[in-house]
């Protein structure tokens, strides 16, 4: 009885979503015909704005995220240096601060690559002497981030001596995973599953946006192509790993 | 049914810390901490290793309890 109720609720939820999507699609389709010029101009202006400001955004995000990553690393190191065998809660606090530092470093890195690519897309034809400085703005903090990540790993190793791997090694993630125990591997598995689901939703949303923007000729074929490659890589690597694990059972 | 454990008491009795127990049973300090807090149920092999380390039966280290007990 409860299952039937839940199935009915799910069905009506699905119907509402379909109606909403149809309405949004209708509004967008109508607007695309009615305001074709202004919508296309609006998006073009936004993309040009991004290209013009990409370097400034890159600099700002470098200061914010890389700076915060350094702050959290220092806080974690301070906590870790005062650890004694009895401070088991302090260990967890130091660990949490270190994880935050690594996460902020990874946000910095992803945004840096994204905005540098956007910057280049707007200035590739006009690369001059200034471009060296611009490339420096991207590259120098990147090396600083690698050094910081390496320091984080070193600190993590001092708190968990069983951990292995160096960030300078291409096999770092594999080696680190292999040095994790059953609970940590389970956590990584659960986190990877959550990440897989989130990424699938984000890719789907972006493909829909790319289709809508395609109506105005605002999307370079590389965008849907790269999204498709990421989507395929994600689903196929998941399926391949699942099949392999199933066979091992 | 939730799993309760007596790792903290067993550790206190033997005078070892989480890191030392972790090293002895092939787990990390964080995992021992998670088990003690009841946030992680160890595998059978890890539970057996822990019991063996303390020289007690698995039931003395871990036990299932009724909800709300």
Per residue, what are the HEC states of A74-135?
HHHHHHHHCCCCCCHHHHHHHHHHHHHHHHHHHHHHHHHHHHHHHHHHHHHHHCCHHHHHHH
Instruction: Give the pLDDT mean for A67-75.
Output: 97
Beta-carbon count within 10 A of A119 CB:
24
Between chain A and chain B, the number of residue pairs with CB atoms below 8 A apart is 47
**Residue among B17, B27, B33 whose CB faces A181 most closely:** B27
The reply to whether residue A183 touches residue B26, judged by beta carbons under 8 angstroms, is: no
Is residue B68 scored above 70 in pLDDT? Answer: no
| Residue A4: pLDDT band with limits 50, 70, 90 | confident
Closest C-alpha to A115, from A74, A61, A78? A61
Q: What are the chain B neighbours of A186 within 8 Å (beta carbons)? A: 40
Is residue A45 scored above 60 in pLDDT? Answer: yes
- pLDDT for A247 equals 85
Pairwise CA distance, residues A104 & A68, whole Å = 7
* Residue in B with minimal Cα distance to A87: B17
B54 Cβ partners below 8 Å, 6+ apart?
B10, B14, B60, B61
Instruction: Give the pLDDT mean for A152-166.
Output: 90
CB B4 within 8 A of CB B38: yes
Rounded to a whole number, what is the distance in Å from the CA of B7 to chain A's nearest CA?
A: 14
- pLDDT for A161 equals 86
Percent with pLDDT over 70 in chain A: 92
Instruction: Give the pLDDT mean for A217-237.
Output: 92
> Touching check for A84 and chain B: CB below 8 Å?
no
**Global pTM value:** 0.79
Pairwise CA distance, residues B51 & B59, whole Å = 8
CB A207 within 8 A of CB A179: no
CB A55 within 8 A of CB A134: yes
Instruction: Give the pLDDT mean for B47-68.
Output: 88
All structural domains of chain B: 3-64 (1.10.260.40)
Pairwise CA distance, residues A13 & A196, whole Å = 23
The reply to whether residue B18 touches residue A160, judged by beta carbons under 8 angstroms, is: no
**Average confidence score pLDDT of chain A:** 88
**Residue among A85, A88, A186 whose CB faces B33 most closely:** A88
- pLDDT for A100 equals 96
Candidates A183, A185, A187, partner chain B, best to mutate (most B CBs within 10 A): A183
| Weakest-pLDDT range from A20-29, A74-83, B54-63 | A20-29
- pLDDT for A153 equals 94
Is residue A65 scored above 70 in pLDDT? Answer: yes
> Touching check for B11 and chain A: CB below 8 Å?
no
Q: What is the pLDDT of residues A78-108, one digit of tens each?
A: 988 887 766 677 888 899 999 999 999 999 9
CB A152 within 8 A of CB A105: yes
């Amino acid at each position: 009885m409860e299952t039937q109720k839940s199935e009915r609720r799910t069905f009506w939820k699905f119907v509402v979503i379909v109606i909403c999507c149809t309405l949004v699609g209708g509004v967008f389709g109508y607007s695309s015909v009615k305001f074709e010029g202004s919508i296309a101009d609006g998006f073009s202006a936004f993309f040009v704005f991004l290209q013009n400001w990409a370097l400034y955004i890159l600099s700002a995000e470098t200061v914010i995220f890389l700076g915060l990553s350094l702050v959290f690393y220092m806080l974690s190191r301070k906590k870790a240096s005062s650890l004694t065998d009895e401070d088991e809660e302090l260990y967890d606090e130091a660990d949490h601060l270190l994880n935050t530092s690594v996460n902020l470093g990874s946000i910095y890195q992803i945004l840096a690559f994204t905005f540098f690519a956007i910057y280049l897309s707007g200035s590739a034809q006009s690369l001059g002497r200034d471009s060296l400085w611009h490339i420096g703005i991207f590259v120098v903090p990147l090396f600083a981030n690698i050094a910081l990540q390496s320091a984080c790993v070193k600190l993590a190793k001092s708190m968990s001596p069983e951990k292995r791997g160096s960030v300078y090694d291409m096999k770092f993630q594999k080696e680190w995973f292999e040095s994790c125990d059953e609970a940590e591997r389970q956590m990584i598995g659960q986190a990877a599953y959550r990440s897989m689901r989130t990424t699938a939703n984000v890719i789907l949303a972006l493909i829909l946006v790319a289709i809508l923007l395609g109506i105005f000729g605002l999307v370079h074929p590389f965008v849907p192509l790269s999204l498709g490659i990421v989507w395929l890589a994600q689903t196929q690597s998941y399926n391949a790993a699942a099949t392999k694990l199933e066979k091992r059972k | 049914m939730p799993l309760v454990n007596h790792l903290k008491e067993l550790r206190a009795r033997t005078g070892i810390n989480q890191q030392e127990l972790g090293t002895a049973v092939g787990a990390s300090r964080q995992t021992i901490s998670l088990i003690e807090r009841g946030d992680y149920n160890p595998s059978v092999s890890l539970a057996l290793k822990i019991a063996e380390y303390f020289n007690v039966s698995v039931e003395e280290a871990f036990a299932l309890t009724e909800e709300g007990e």
